[in-house]
Chains A and B, each alone.
Chain A
Amino acid sequence: MNIALIAGMTFLGALGGFWFKKVSRVTKPVQKLFRFLLGCVFYGLAAILNIIVLHHMPYTIVFPLTAITYVWTFLLSFFILGEKLNGYKLAGLGCILIGTFVLVH
């Protein structure tokens, strides 16, 4: 149950960021606003889930687990935004995941 909550929370967080990124890819203000608000919905849902999770699990465990968000970020970047991934980016993500794991163990 906690794993599903964490997976859902992190995916929503990444989707929020994804739509914030998509704001920069259009120039019309209406389009920008629409994408920003869409991002806010996902980001807000992630935040609410975060608060709920924080009431069930310790801050020091929940906060680092949110790093899984960036695994989703890489998947969205690569498969949808068409961004290139390279060794430095993967090393960066790896360090962030390891660093957050070390933080709590």
Chain B
Amino acid sequence: MTDEPIVLGIETSCDETGVGIVRGTTLLANVVASSVDEHARFGGVVPEVASRAHLEAMVPTVERALRTAGLTLADIDAIAVTAGPGLAGTLLVGVAAAKAYALATGKPLYGVNHLAAHVAVDTLEHGPLPEPAVALLVSGGHSSLLRVDDLARGVQPLGATIDDAAGEAFDKVARLLGLPFPGGPPIDRAAQSGDGSAIAFPRGLTAPRDMREHRFDFSFSGLKTAVARWVEARQRAGEPVPVADVAASFQEAVCDVLTAKAIDACRSQGIETLLIGGGVAANSRLRAMATERAARYGIQVRVPRPGLCTDNGAMVAALGTHLVSSGVPPSGLDIPADSALPVEVVSLAEKVA
């Protein structure tokens, strides 16, 4: 099909400068320049360090994406960019760049929601999303359950973390265990040789009282502290810390709560599709547990491949082509970068004068 829109997507909500190019639901390019190595010694992403890296990487990353796709800007139908949520300073670099590319080329601009883009990216791998669907988005900055009735216009929050994001808990526990940042991959690896039932770590917001008020919310702060107490008690007693068992038991606790609440959300809403996205969706245990549990209830689980789960420009471009195809109006050149953009706002439409 030649009439499918081609969109260039720009993502700078955290530490990855991502530029992707998508035609319809076909991925043409997905180039990511990450500043993660510059943040490792700080144990977390430093916004100013990330913002500086975005400025340096922006134009070279756009050029690499165009070369990869074998296209020029003249072939692009629209520019999409993450307008939020995310880090204010890093978002602004991408938004300003996208506006300049749109203005210089005369192409429409779409300022889009980062969380909706994490949902949209799955269409590149598994085709159009059956609607309604429940989306579980878990990363270093977000842990949300969403109901997606219409990816172009209708996304509703069901619940979210009330303290740490799931990925943040992985980072902090990794540090505690002497594993590198970011903590997701090394914990996943360490857990392979550990016993996930070795230590009974707490499952946040699953007590009967919490399930009344916070049925679809998450809490990982107490889990993180419980792991710290357990490890410190071992160290004080002069005993070795069984890293593999701690990693596996921590990971089991996180995945247990995430999948239980996600499936509860699907069942309570009568929804048969569960989509999992965000960097933590790359976790092997989460993928396996979700698939196994969902199968019991006839729920179909969709998880994009790990390279599309972490922040990237292709997800922004994928949402962009969906918005163009759905006839959603573009954004004005005056849109802000909104670090707290509500999840219901899939795209920033042009202001009505």
Asked if A pairs with B, the answer is no
- B residues near A (Cβ < 8 Å) are none
- A residues near B (Cβ < 8 Å) are none
